[in-house]
Amino acid sequence: MDHKNPPLDAYHLPLVRKIKPVIVENVGKAYVVSKNNFPALAGVTCYTLEVWEESMRIPHWHPNASELGYVVSGELEIMIWRSPGESAVFTLTAGMCWFIPQAALHSLNNVGKTPAQLLVGFSSELPQDIDLPVAFNGIPAPLRDAYTSPHTQLREWQGVMDNPLVGHCSVDPALQRVLTASPYGFDLAKVTPLFNDKQLGNVTWGVKSNWNIINNISILRAYLHPNVARDAIWYPDAGTLYVIAKGEALFHIIIEGSKPAAIHAKQFDYIYVPVGVLHTFMNTSSADCEAIAFFTKADPQPEVSLSVATSFFPETVTQAAMLQYGNLRGENANPLAHLINKTVSPYLISIKK
């Protein structure tokens, strides 16, 4: 059977140029990304949410997906309820994460004085959603009466059926702001980075080994200073959905049958990289770049670095491969003569424009 991979641009979703936001007047907006509008996705997606002051993502749950979120900016209160003995209320600020187990009731409340920008990842490319209005509209009227008797307001009430992403919610003046005092909250700044260099940037992740409560999904943050690139890598057992949280980057995805080309990703653009696909990205701008990656597993295997993997093979093998199947010929052709032998991934690499 003749097999062809999708064109490279199928793996890039320029958010604000292709997705019409869901807007609730005066309270916020959301860019809802799923397999319906980003067909390349497999096992993961992410919504870009903006929740304005004194507004909330109304209480809801996801029957088919775990949720892992990242605060780009603002101050957010998370409320989770799973059972009488398992609930949580905590506050997050920029750079912090939260995790919601599958089917747990939760809300996201903006308790700051500025709009909160959020990246909300899901362990499904088509996450389902049930809000409180939908839930109470759906149950029989006699049961509603039993919940509220002798009152009749709930029997007569019919709320919205379109699952509003956000709604107005006044901030309680007695709110106790407790930063990540819950296993469901996670501060990437308190984790030992996989890589950290003042001149280049840093790479940090939240996975099962350092955030034990998560499942089905995990997160990585790569922070690149100008003229820095991510080492060319692939993940052997997890798909990866990148979102540019700050700045911009040039992505390269290397896929059989597709001519290599740069993909220019701007803030809140999406790049999906399937399992085992080689890729890299570069910050060629004059400002810092922050890329957030959502993995399709809670415990992805470490990245495989192209430079490290290549260094494993004897020079005779690599040179023969490059000469026979590349575009160089002749006895003097030696394209990998100065390849730096690496044993661990450099993560970030300084580049020239």
Mean pLDDT of 17-24: 89
The pLDDT of residue 265 is 97
The pLDDT of residue 339 is 75
Residue 135: Cβ within 10 Å count: 14
The pLDDT of residue 172 is 78
Q: Is residue 296 pLDDT above 70, yes or no?
A: yes
- Ranking 95-109, 219-233, 314-328 by mean pLDDT, the lowest is 314-328
Mean pLDDT of 330-337: 68
Question: Strands 22-24, 218-224: parallel, antiparallel or unpaired by DSSP?
Answer: unpaired
**Residue 97 covered by a domain:** yes
Chain-centroid distance of CA 177 in Å reads 25
CA neighbor of 5 nearest in space, from 189, 228, 274, 206:
274
The pLDDT of residue 4 is 64
Mean pLDDT of 271-278: 97
Residue pLDDT, tens place only, 206-262: 999 999 999 999 999 999 999 999 999 999 999 999 999 999 999 999 998 888 899
Average pLDDT, the chain: 91
Q: Quick one: what percent of the chain has pLDDT higher than 90?
A: 68
pLDDT band, very low/low/confident/very high, at 331 (cuts 50, 70, 90): low
Q: Is residue 133 pLDDT above 70, yes or no?
A: yes
pLDDT band, very low/low/confident/very high, at 91 (cuts 50, 70, 90): very high
pLDDT band, very low/low/confident/very high, at 158 (cuts 50, 70, 90): confident
**Residue 233 covered by a domain:** yes
Q: Quick one: what percent of the chain has pLDDT higher than 70?
A: 94
**Residue 159 covered by a domain:** yes
Residues, the chain: 353
What's the CA gap between 289 and 264, in Å, rounded? Answer: 13
Which has more confidence, 330 or 94?
94
Q: Is residue 32 pLDDT above 80, yes or no?
A: yes
**Residue 327 covered by a domain:** no
Paired with 67 in beta bridges are: 100, 122
* Residue 9: DSSP 8-state: G
Contacts of 261 (CB under 8 A, 6+ apart): 8, 252
- Ranking 38-42, 178-182, 227-231 by mean pLDDT, the lowest is 178-182
Q: Is residue 60 pLDDT above 80, yes or no?
A: yes
**Residue 186 covered by a domain:** yes
The pLDDT of residue 205 is 98
What's the CA gap between 296 and 235, in Å, rounded? Answer: 11
**Residue 135 covered by a domain:** yes
Most confident segment among 224-228, 313-317, 341-345 = 224-228
The pLDDT of residue 209 is 97
Query: Based on the structure, what is the number of domains in the chain?
Result: 1
Token couple for 167: 């709604």
Domain limits at 35? 1-302+348-353
Question: What b/e sequence results for 93-123 when a residue is b if at least 16 CB atoms lie within 10 Å of its CB, and e otherwise?
Answer: bbbbbbbbbbebbbbbbbbbeebbbbbbbbb
Mean pLDDT of 61-76: 97
**Residue 331 covered by a domain:** no
Which has more confidence, 5 or 129?
129
Paired with 105 in beta bridges are: 81
**Residue 81 covered by a domain:** yes
Token couple for 285: 């701008």
Query: Contact at 8 Å (CB) between 307 and 292?
Result: no
Q: Is residue 1 pLDDT above 60, yes or no?
A: no
CATH classification of the domain holding 184: 2.60.120.10
CA atoms within 13 A on the CB side of 210: 18
